[in-house]
Amino acid sequence: MPKKEGGRKSNKELIDDSNKSTLYKTLIHILYILIALMISLIIIVLILYISSVMSFSKEIIISSNQISFSQNSLTKKVTSTDDAINSILKKYNAKSLEQISQGIIKISVKNLSIIEELNSNGKTTVQQNYEYKIYFTPNDTYYSLQLNYKQLKIDSIWDYSTGNKNVKVAIIDTGIDYNHPDLKDNIALGYNSIKNNNDYLDDNGHGTHLAGIVAAESNNEGILGVCPNCSVISIKAFDKNGIGKSSSVIKAIDYAIDNNAKVILFSWGSENLDPALEQTIKKASKSNIVLVGAAGNDNSTNLRYPAAYNEVIGVAAKDADFNEAYFSNYGNWTEISAPGIRVLSTMPTYKVTLNKKGFEKDYDYLTGTSAAAAQVAGLAALLISANDSQSKEDIDSLIIDNAKKSRIHGVPLINPSESINAQKSIMSSATKGKSANQSVALENNTQIKTQNINEAQRSTVKMSDLIKKEEELKKVGSLQAGYESWVEVPAPMPIPSSNESFPPLAPSSSDSIQPLNPSFSTNESFAGYLSGSSTPPDTMGAVGPNHIVNAFNSNIAFQYKNGTYISSVSLSTFWSSLSPGTPFDPRVIYDVLSQRFIITSDSAAKSTNSALLLAVSATSDPTGSWYLYKIKSDPNSIYWADYPQVGINKKWIVIAANMFEVPNGGAALGYSWVINKSSVLDGGTANITVLTAGGSAGTSPSHTFDENEEAVWLAMAYDQNSGGKS
């Protein structure tokens, strides 16, 4: 075979090479197409996943003690035991059920329109899974002393108590550095309520700072907490950015209750009135846990929750000169204040959100109402350590009633030494026993027996809080746990037109007594507040310098003196912080000597839980705060109280009632509760003497406006069978 010239390929070889090149290019194109298809498929899957996540990113909280919920283990779709609610859940494709607390669940939905539909059924209370933020203002200085302790003279109380390991303070926050040398030996427990596990390491720094203020141990290094021998339960309910949800904080409170916390610290908040959270806070309060909340750092008087809930001590902040801190929130919902500027405490040495570079030392300053609230929580723990037999209300009162009265916007400064001295005095009195009963003989062998008591349950309520609560409850269409009855508040009655007239009766010629300060001229008239929802209405009203207060069996209403309607709350809501049972027979007067409104009611008719209720307005303005008291009608649970009457003089408030045998017995006694007025005008411990009149005698106390008269006169009606004498 002849050789190819110049090594050139034959035509056949050239054709083979061309075919190979075409095949290679085809394979490359196919590969590109496959890769493109794979990428497209991945993108589609990601889009579908993100769309799915986004469509169920809206979380809602449902509270109900009537209906049970469940979910399909495969589809995660949520169903309930109620057909009507099921149709709504199906309509909104509700998924991902999580049990938050008893009677409280969390689900995911496509949009929040479901809230209105579910609330309309009257069997559930539905809300958003609200967002809460921690309160802090960072400050990057790394040295100095704990100046807040010098302000409060806390070192003077450590001779009395430094705490007790059995007293646990639950700090619901961003977690804790559990290896910190000043904290590690004082940590009792830890929990992560976001992930439902035990990973509670602080990745923000805020929680570690609070823990040091409350309970940094005494180990001859670092700093010292207010209660250095107390224990901490650290519950991580907030992420590294300081954001938490209703669901995480509710679970955190439940964890604190279940693990016997004595104090819970809330150094975070929101403007949202959160019914599910409030329900859980009430549960904690009934578990005898002291609750302390930071007021917030917005320089605002707007309500912040949970600090504004009645069960929580709301804490504002002061500066080094005892003036209002420039950032602090305040209002009639803040009961106490503490130093809140540049408070030195523990910090993690590793990198956290508050310092991305990590802290050079184990300590740093933070500014805010969070730090102020932590000092109050530490003081509460100290008081409990010294006397663990005292109730939550006792501890609240020791802190609030003994505060320094130099006020910022009405918020006094905590005074640890006076709180301790008051506790010492109470403990000393307890060892001496109660004073013996005394008696005074009257005609017909009727006696009035006296007994000194000091056992009234107390509460402070803010009318703005109650009104907002009632408005929210009407929106959601359901009454929250803790209320025992509900009366719908009617619409306000309009001011009458010019052709309407309600002239007062003219006085007779024999009338010679004129009021000291007439409230109205004789030609003024306007329509009162129309209740119409309770029969009989037991209507009673009182007039102050600028306001009229109307009391009904259904509600309490407020007007200006020209008749303009302001607001109203149901009688049940007004007394709800005392959990008294159903209240009835309200009475209201205005005391011109103390310039306060006084309201009384009986509660829990025909029951061994019968109680006398007393409310005193904090000022002459009845739309502000009120101090509330509940006194058990009969310590022996034999009688219940009915038909209350109230009288006053410059020193005393006297409330009288007829006593009937439980449940349906006849009238047996007449009780009169004589209350030292000065002890309740500032919400302090009520000093009470009970007068017991036998022989079915009833008393009616007088209204005495003479500043020189110290006696209170009681009109008495004896039983007809005993002589019919009065």
Is 80 exceeded by the pLDDT of residue 83? yes
pLDDT at 359: 55
Beta carbons of 262 and 465 less than 8 angstroms apart? no
Would the pLDDT of 535 be above 80?
no
Is 42 buried (19+), middle (13-18) or exposed (0-12) by CB count in 10 A?
exposed
Residue 466 has pLDDT above 60, yes or no: yes
Residue 140 · residue 205 · CB < 8 Å: no
Confidence band for 527, pLDDT divided at 50, 70 and 90: low
Judged by average pLDDT, the poorest of 182-191, 404-413, 484-493, 554-563 is 484-493
3-class secondary-structure state, position 643: strand
- pLDDT(387) > 60: yes
CA separation for the pair 602, 640 (Å, rounded): 9
Within a 10 A sphere around the Cβ of 719, how many other Cβ atoms?
Answer: 19
Q: Which of 71-80, 508-517, 617-626, 710-719 has the lowest mean pLDDT?
A: 508-517
Contacts of 722 (CB under 8 A, 6+ apart): 444, 446, 695, 696, 697
More confident residue, 704 or 52: 704
> Which residues, in sequence order, are CB contacts of 310 under 8 Å at separation 6+?
459, 460, 461, 462, 465, 577
Smallest CA-to-CA distance from 349 within 544, 135, 180 is with 180
Please give the pLDDT value at position 103.
86
Specify the fold of 132-430.
Rossmann fold (3.40.50)
Length of the chain: 726
Q: What is the pLDDT of residues 168-212, one digit of tens each?
A: 999 999 999 999 999 999 999 999 999 999 999 999 999 999 999
Strands (E), 165-259: 168-173, 187-192, 231-236, 243-245
Identify which has the larger pLDDT, 456 or 683. 683
Q: How far apart are CA 399 and CA 420, in angstroms?
A: 9
Asked if the model's pLDDT at residue 516 lies above 60, the reply is no
**Secondary structure of 65-81 in the HEC alphabet?**
CCCCEEECCCCCEEEEC
Each domain of the chain, given as residue ranges in start order, spans 55-129, 132-430, 443-492+529-722
User: Mean per-residue pLDDT for 332-355?
Assistant: 86
Catalytic residue among 64, 80, 101, 173: 173
Position 11 pLDDT exceeds 50 = yes
Phi, psi of 614 (to 5 degrees): -135, 135
Residue 173's nearest CA partner among 199, 138, 211 is 211
Please check the confidence at residue 361 and state whether its pLDDT lies above 80: no
Tell me whether residue 364 is one of the annotated catalytic residues.
no
Report the DSSP pairing between strands 555-560 and 547-551. Answer: antiparallel
Is the pLDDT at 338 greater than 50? The verdict is: yes
Peptide bond into 490 cis (omega under 30): no
**Is this prediction's pTM over 0.85?**
no
Average pLDDT over residues 480-494: 26
Q: Indicate if the pLDDT at residue 512 is higher than 70.
A: no
Task: Say yes or no to pLDDT of 425 above 90.
Answer: no
Position 97 scores a pLDDT of 82
CB half-sphere exposure, 354, CA atoms < 13 A: 30
pLDDT reading at 513 higher than 50: no
Chain segment 452-461, per-residue pLDDT in tens: 444 567 777 7
Banded pLDDT at 18 (limits 50, 70, 90):
low
Secondary structure string (H, E, C) spanning 75-129: CCEEEECCHHHHHHHHHCCCEEEEEEECCEEEEEECCCCHHHHHHCCCCCEEEEC
* Average pLDDT, integer, range 333-360: 81
Q: What is the pLDDT of residues 259-271, one digit of tens each?
A: 999 999 999 999 9
Mean per-residue pLDDT over the chain, rounded: 77
Taking the C-alpha atoms of residue 386 and residue 390, their distance in angstroms, rounded to an integer, is: 10
In this prediction, residues 105-113 reach a mean pLDDT of: 83
Determine the pLDDT at residue 20. Answer: 66
Question: Which DSSP symbol is given to 636?
Answer: T
Among residues 533, 519, 608, the alpha carbon closest in space to that of 568 is found at 533
Which amino acid makes up residue 306? P
Active site residue 206: yes
Spatial distance between the Cα atoms of 357 and 339, rounded to a whole number of angstroms? 28
Instruction: Give the active site residue among 80, 203, 206, 401.
Output: 206
pLDDT at residue 419 is higher than 50: yes
Matching residue, tokens 């006169």: 713
Structure tokens at 293: 């909340």
User: What CATH fold (topology level) applies to the domain 55-129?
Assistant: Alpha-Beta Plaits (3.30.70)
Structure confidence at residue 590 (pLDDT): 94
280-330 pLDDT, tens digit each: 999 999 999 999 999 999 988 889 999 999 899 999 998 877 778 889 998
pLDDT of residue 255: 97
Catalytic residue among 108, 270, 345, 370: 370
Where do runs of H (alpha helix) occur along 511-600? 571-575
Calpha distance 312→290 (Å, rounded): 8
> Is 397 considered catalytic here?
no
